[in-house]
Amino acid sequence: MNAPLIDHILRLAVSILPVLLFLLALHLLDSYKLVRGRALCTAILMGALVALVSLPVNVLLMRWLSLDRAVYARYVAPIVEEILKAAYVYYLVRSRRVGFVVDAAICGFAVGAGFAVVENAYYIQALGESRVVIWLVRGFGTAIMHGGTAAIFGIMTKSLFDRSAPRRRGVFVPGLVAAVLLHSFYNHFVFSPIVSTVLIHFTLPLVILVVFYRSEQVTRRWLGSQFDVDTELLEIINSGQVSGSPLGMFFRSIRDTFPREVVVDMLCYLRLHVELGIHAKGILLMREAGLDPRPSPDVKSKLTELRHLQRSIGKTGRLAIHPLLHSSSRDVWQLTILGER
C-alpha cells in the first residue's frame, strides 16, 4: 500500500470516526434501545443523501447570489443544510416513529453524522489538504457540530410536538432556528477552530446527557402510570362487567349515535388496542432489564385486526372513543414497536 493511499485513509478516519463513535455511544447509553439498528442506519443514509443533495445546491446558490464563499458559509449554507437535515427528523416526529425526546436526539444526530461523513469525504478529495490538524478539526469539530445541530432540532421539535396539538405544523420552527443559528455561529469562526472544537466537546455531551437523564425519567413515569391504567381497563373489559362500570356508561351514551355493530367493533377495538399497548410496554420494561424480547406470534394478526376495526368504526367512531384510548403521540407510537419487529 503506497504512502498517498495510507495518508488518504488516515485523513478519512480522523474526519469521520469521531462522529460515528459519538453516535455509537449515544445508542449504547439508551437503556431502552428504542432506536433500532435498522432505523439508525436509515437515518445515517438519509443524512448522507442530504449531503449529496446539498453540495450542488450550495454551489448553484452561491453562484446565483454572487456571494463570497465565506459570506455564503456564514449566512446561507446553514439555512440550506439545516432545513435539509431537519426534514427527515421532522418526518420521524410527525409520523410518531419516535416516542421520546432522546429517540429524536439519537435519530437527529445520526442524520447529522451521515451528512458529515459524506461532506468530509468530499472535502478530503477536493482540498487534498494533508495537515492532520485540519481533519482533526473537521472530525472532532465540524462533524460533531452537524450531528449536534440536528440532534438539537430533534430535541426541541419532539418536546414541542408532545406539548402541542399534533396538527400544529409550527412546532419545527424553534428547533430549526436554533440549529441554523448554532451552525452559523460555528461558521463565523468567532474563536479559533481548535477552541471551537474544544467548546463543542464540553457543551454537546453535557446537553445530550441531561436529555438522556430527563427522558429516562419520563419513560419510567409513563410506563408505570400507563401500564396500571391499561391493565385496569383490560380487566374490566375481560371480566364481562362493562355494563356497571364508567366504561359501560360511556358506551350506553353513544349507542343511540352509532349502529349496534359499530359499538361492538368500538369495544373490540378498545380491547385490542389496550392489549397491544400492554404488550409493547412489557417489551420496553424487559429492554430496560437488558433483555431483547420478541413479540408473541399473534401480534401481526392482532395489528391486522386492529387496522380492520379502525376502518370499520370510521373516523367519527375513533374520535368518539379517543378519550378512552388516551392516544397521545407516545401512545400511538408504542404500536410501532410491535409493527417493526
Same domain, 47 and 183: yes
**110-152: per-residue pLDDT in tens?**
999 999 999 988 887 777 656 667 777 777 778 888 999 999 9
Same domain, 46 and 168: yes
107 domain residue, yes or no = yes
Q: If pLDDT is split at 50, 70 and 90, which confidence band does 230 have? A: low
Same domain, 19 and 158: yes
59 domain residue, yes or no = yes
Length, in residues, of the chain: 341
228 domain residue, yes or no = no
SS3 content of the chain, % helix, strand, coil (to 5): 85, 0, 15
The residue that leads in pLDDT, 305 or 184, is 184
Structural domain boundaries, residue 295:
240-339
Report d(CA 267, CA 113) in Å as an integer.
46
Average pLDDT over every residue of 75-101: 92
At a CB cut-off of 8 Å and minimum separation 6, what does 334 contact? 99, 276, 277, 280, 281, 284
224 domain residue, yes or no = no
303 domain residue, yes or no = yes
Same domain, 204 and 265: no
Return the pLDDT at 75. Answer: 94
Which residue type does 126 have?
A: A
**Domain termination residue (choose one: 172, 200, 216):** 216
For the chain, first and last CA: distance in Å? 44
Report d(CA 196, CA 190) in Å as an integer.
8
Report d(CA 13, CA 2) in Å as an integer.
17
317 domain residue, yes or no = yes
Return the pLDDT at 211. Answer: 78
Report d(CA 116, CA 136) in Å as an integer.
13
Under a CB-based contact definition with an 8 Å cutoff, are residues 329 and 96 in contact?
yes
Average pLDDT of the chain to the nearest whole number: 79
Return the pLDDT at 170. Answer: 84
3-state secondary structure of 194: helix
Same domain, 166 and 203: yes
Same domain, 165 and 257: no
Using alpha carbons, select from 5, 21, 25, 24 the residue that is nearest to residue 140: 21
- Name the CA radius of gyration of the chain, rounded: 24
Got the DSSP string for 130-177? --HHHHHHIIIIIHHHHHHHHHHHHHHHHHHHHHS-TT-GGGGHHHHH
Same domain, 195 and 58: yes
Under a CB-based contact definition with an 8 Å cutoff, are residues 325 and 270 in contact?
yes
289 domain residue, yes or no = yes
Q: How many domains in the chain?
A: 2
Same domain, 57 and 206: yes
Same domain, 115 and 158: yes
CA angle 307, 309, 314 (to 5 degrees): 100
Same domain, 269 and 127: no
Share of the chain above pLDDT 90, in %: 27
Same domain, 58 and 166: yes
**Domain termination residue (choose one: 165, 182, 216):** 216
**234-278: per-residue pLDDT in tens?**
666 666 665 656 666 666 666 667 777 877 787 788 788 777 777
Same domain, 147 and 184: yes
| Residue 331 in grid coordinates | 401512545
CA distances from 116 to 29, 67, 145, 149, 241 (A): 22, 24, 9, 12, 58
Report d(CA 4, CA 130) in Å as an integer.
10
54 domain residue, yes or no = yes
pTM equals 0.75
Under a CB-based contact definition with an 8 Å cutoff, are residues 20 and 113 in contact?
yes
Under a CB-based contact definition with an 8 Å cutoff, are residues 223 and 285 in contact?
yes
3-state secondary structure of 246: helix
